[in-house]
Amino acid sequence: MGLLEGDAMKKAASKLYWKIRGHDSLKTIFEANVEFGHITENQICHLLQALASKAGLTFAEMVGAYAKRRSRISNDLLTVHKDLLYSTWMCGSGPVFTASVVDANGNIASPALDRPRPER
C-alpha cells in the first residue's frame, strides 16, 4: 500500500505544466495552466504570438509582424524570445505574454541546471 502511494506521489510531483500568463504593466490579465504533453514548444510559440497579437496590436502591426524581414513595413512585435537558463518563452511588449514549464508546485523547471555536465 505505501509503495503504491509513494509511486503515485512521485509521478504527480514529476508532472509538468505550461503556465501561460499575460501581463499589462503590473496587472495580470490572463493565466492558464495546461499539462505539458498537451501543447508542443512550437505550438506555445504560436499561441503566445496569437495572444500578444489579439491583446495589443493593431491590424497594421499584425501585417508588419508577418512581413518579410527588413522590408519597409516589417516589425518584430511578435518575435518569441526564450530564456536560456529557464524554460520560459515570451512574446509582446504591452501586454507581454509568457509561458513557463513548471512542476506541480508551480516552480519553474530549469533544464540548463538539471542537465548532467559533460566529463572532461
DSSP class of residue 104?
A: T
* pTM metric for this prediction: 0.80
Number of domains in the chain: 1
Residue 23 domain flag: yes
Residue 112 domain flag: no
Residue 73 domain flag: yes
Tens of pLDDT, residues 4-49: 455 544 555 578 999 999 999 999 999 999 999 999 999 999 999 9
C-alpha cell recorded at residue 116:
548532467
Give the integer Cα–Cα distance in Å for 80 and 47. 10
Confidence bin at 57 (pLDDT 50/70/90): very high
Give the integer Cα–Cα distance in Å for 79 and 65. 8
Q: What are phi and psi of 26, to 5 degrees?
A: -95, 0
Residue 38 domain flag: yes
Residue 51: domain span: 16-106
Residue 113 domain flag: no
Residue 47 domain flag: yes
Taking a C-beta distance cutoff of 8 angstroms, is the pair 89, 78 a contact?
Answer: no
